[in-house]
Structure 1
Amino acid sequence: MRAALYVRVSTEDQAKEGFSLDAQTKRLEAYCRLKGYEISDIYRDEGCSGRNTERPEYKRMMEDQDNWDVLVVLKMDRIHRNSVNFTLMMDDLRKNKKEFCSTQEKIDTGTAMGRFAMDMMQRIAQLESEQIGERVKIGMARKAESGEGYMGSGHPYGYVYERGSLVVIENEARVVRDIYSMHQRGMSLRAIADALNHSYILSKKGGRWTHQSISKIVHNPLYAGYVRWTYFDEHTQKTRCIIRTGDHAAIVNKGVFESINGPIE
C-alpha cells in the first residue's frame, strides 16, 4: 500500500518536543516500515495553522491522491484542528477510496474498528456543528425580534458599520435618496444604474452599478430604518422573515419606501 505522510508544525508547536517536522517524519517512517507501507511522498507544512486548509503542502497532497492509497499522520490535530474541515476531508478520501491512519490515536480506516471509530467521530463533529448553527440562529432571531443591531454583513451603501452600529455616510445617502426618487418617477432599475454610471458615481466597492445592486437598495427596509432577517425555521419547515424597527438612522422615510414596496409591517 502506498502511503502519503503528512507532517505539520505551527509557530507555537515548533518549540514543543516531539512535534518538529523531522521528529514527526521519523516516527511515521518507522510506522510505515512496521506496516509494510511504501512511502509515496512526504508532505511538510511548516508554520501553518491547522484551523484552515490554506496550506501549500496539504493542497498538493490532496491533489496527488492518484499517487497514494493511505494518508498517515502522527496525530489527528496535525491534519486538522477544525472538525468541519476534517469531515470534508474524510468525505473526499472516502469518495476516492483512500484510507486514513492516525498513528497516535490508533485510528485506521482500513480496519472495521477504525471505520467505526471514525464514523462516530464524524457524527460527533456534525452534531457540534449543527448545535452551533442552532445557537446562532436562536441568537440572531432574538436580535432581529428586538430590532437590535444590523443583521447583515459588510457595509451597505449609504452606511458604514462602526462599533456595532450603522452610521450614515451623507454623500452616499444623497445617492440613495436620488435612487428612490428616480424609481418613484417611473425609471427602471437598469435605467437608474445607467444614469449613475453615466454620472461617474461609483458603487460601494468602486465599481459600476447594475440593476441588481440598485434592487438591493430599493427593496431593502434597512434604508427606512428597519432591520430584516430571513431564515429557514427547522420546526415549521418554512422560511420566516422578521422585520423590526432598527437602532440606526433611516435615509429615506417610511412613506417613500412603502410607496415602492408596500407596507413594511
Structure 2
Amino acid sequence: MVDHVSIRERVSESEEDESLRAAVYARTSSNSRAESYSLDEQVKRAVDRCQSLGWDVAFVYRDESESGANTDRPMFQTMLDAAKRQAFDVVVFWKLDRFSRSLMHAVQLEEELREHDVYLYSVTEQIDTTSATGRFNFRNLASAAEFERDMIKQRTRIGINGMAEERKWPNDDPPLGYTLTPENKLSVDGQQRDLVVEIFEMYIEERSMPEVATRLNERGITTTDEGEWTPRAVGDVLRNEIYRGVYELGDVTEHVPEYQIIDDETFSQVREIRMRFRKEDASRPSMPSSRKERIAYEVRDRYQDYLNSCH
C-alpha cells in the first residue's frame, strides 16, 4: 500500500488481477475536533471495507485541515492526477462529505473519473459505481438531488417575484437613503436622502470617486455599515438605479415614484461623467509600438540604476 507517493504503473491486461485496485481518500476540515472520525479512523474503515470486498488497496491519500468546498486540496489533486493515468480503479471514502461538498458535486467528479474508468465507493452510504446496478442507483440519487435543487430554485424565484409584485425589499439592508417599513418596503429617510443628493452633487463637482470618498471621510461621515467611504462605495451609490426610482427585483422592473431621490437629469449627468473615460479611450489613438519599446527600455534602465545604488 502506498501512502500518497509515486504512482504504480498500470499493468497489462494479461497480468491484471481480477480484484479492483483501490485508492482510499480521507479528509478532515480545519474544525477537525468537531468531527467524529480522524484521518486514521477514516482510512482504517475504508481499508477494512476494501479487504472485505477483496480489493487491493494501492494508494492512500490524506488531506488534513482542508475544506471540502472545492477540489483545491493537495492530496485530492494528486489523486485526480493518478486517476487520469489509470493508476487505480476505484476511489473509496468513508463518507460523501469527506470526498466532495455535495451529491451534485460528486456527480460532476464521477463523470470526470468515469472518463478514465475510475469508480466511486462510499463506506457508509449507498454510493457504489463499480457495478451497473450501483451506477444506476447513483444516477437515481443524482436525479433526485438535481430535482430538489431545481425545486428550491423555483420556490425561491416564486418567492422573489411575489415580493417584487408588492414592491418589497428582498433583505434587511436597505440602500443608503432609505429605511424599511414593517411591510419590508422602502421608505425615504430625510437625513440620509440629503446625503445621497450631496454625494451626487459632489461627484458632478469633483468628477472623481476617490475625491468624493476623501471628502466624506474627512467629515467623519460613514457608510451604512459604519465603515469608511471608498471609491467603490461611492460608485455603488452613483450606479444604483433605485435612486431615480427604478425598482428591479426578479422579473419586475418598474418606476416607483415614492422611491425616487435623484431626478433623471442629474442621474444621467452623473452617468455621462462616469462613462467619459470609455469615450476618451475609444477616441484616443493607440500608442505607437516604438514609443512602447522606448518606455520599456527607460523603465528597465531606471530599475537597473536603482539596483546598482543598493550595492
Q: How far, CA to CA, are the matches of 1:243 and 1:96 in structure 2?
A: 52
Matched, 1:73 2:93: yes
Q: Name the CA shift for 1:89/1:167 in 2 (closer, same or farther; >3 Å).
A: farther
Look up the SS of the partner of 1:110 in the other structure.
coil
Corresponding residue to 2:252 among 241, 245, 254: 241
Q: How far, CA to CA, are the matches of 1:8 and 1:194 in structure 2?
A: 44
Q: Could you say which residue in structure 2 is the equivalent of 1:35?
A: 54
- 1:3-14 alignment, distance < 5 Å: 3-6=23-26, 14=36
Q: Could you say which residue in structure 2 is the equivalent of 1:178?
A: 198
Q: How far, CA to CA, are the matches of 1:84 and 1:99 in structure 2?
A: 16
Q: Greater strand share, 1 or 2?
A: 1
Q: How far, CA to CA, are the matches of 1:74 and 1:98 in structure 2?
A: 17
| Paired positions, count | 232
Contact 2:25 2:99 in 1 (8 A): no
1:29 shift after superposition: 1.0
Using the size of structure 2 for normalisation, the TM-score is 0.55
1:6 shift after superposition: 2.3
Using the size of structure 1 for normalisation, the TM-score is 0.63
Q: How far, CA to CA, are the matches of 2:110 and 2:235 in structure 1?
A: 41
Q: How far, CA to CA, are the matches of 1:175 and 1:121 in structure 2?
A: 54
Q: Greater helix share, 1 or 2?
A: 2
Q: Could you say which residue in structure 2 is the equivalent of 1:116?
A: 136
Name the % identity: 21
Q: How far, CA to CA, are the matches of 2:195 and 2:171 in structure 1?
A: 21
Q: Could you say which residue in structure 1 is the equivalent of 2:263?
A: 257
- Paired amino acid for 1:64: T
Contact 1:227 1:244 in 2 (8 A): yes
Q: Could you say which residue in structure 2 is the equivalent of 1:128?
A: 148
Contact 2:241 2:247 in 1 (8 A): yes
Q: Name the CA shift for 1:200/1:7 in 2 (closer, same or farther; >3 Å).
A: closer
Alignment RMSD (CA, Å) = 4.4
Look up the SS of the partner of 1:147 in the other structure.
coil
Look up the SS of the partner of 2:207 in the other structure.
helix
Q: Could you say which residue in structure 1 is the equivalent of 2:288?
A: none
Larger-gyration structure (1/2): 2
Q: C-alpha deviations, 1:101-154, integer Å up to 9, x for none?
A: 123445332322222222221121111111100000000110011012x23686
Q: Name the CA shift for 1:242/1:75 in 2 (closer, same or farther; >3 Å).
A: same
Q: How far, CA to CA, are the matches of 2:237 and 2:185 in structure 1?
A: 18
Look up the SS of the partner of 2:50 in the other structure.
helix
Q: Name the CA shift for 1:216/1:106 in 2 (closer, same or farther; >3 Å).
A: closer
Q: Could you say which residue in structure 2 is the equivalent of 1:53?
A: 68
- 1:192-231 alignment, distance < 5 Å: 192-197=208-213, 199=215, 201=217, 204=223, 206=228, 208-210=230-232, 216-223=236-243, 227-229=247-249, 231=250
The runs of 5 or more residues in structure 2 that have no matched partner are 1-20, 269-311
Larger RCO, structure (CA 8 Å, separation 6 or more) = 1
Contact 1:45 1:55 in 2 (8 A): no
- 1:153-172 alignment, distance < 5 Å: 156-158=175-177
The runs of 5 or more residues in structure 1 that have no matched partner are 232-239
Matched, 1:191 2:213: no
Deviates more, 1:80-89 or 1:63-72: 80-89
Q: Name the CA shift for 1:59/1:194 in 2 (closer, same or farther; >3 Å).
A: closer
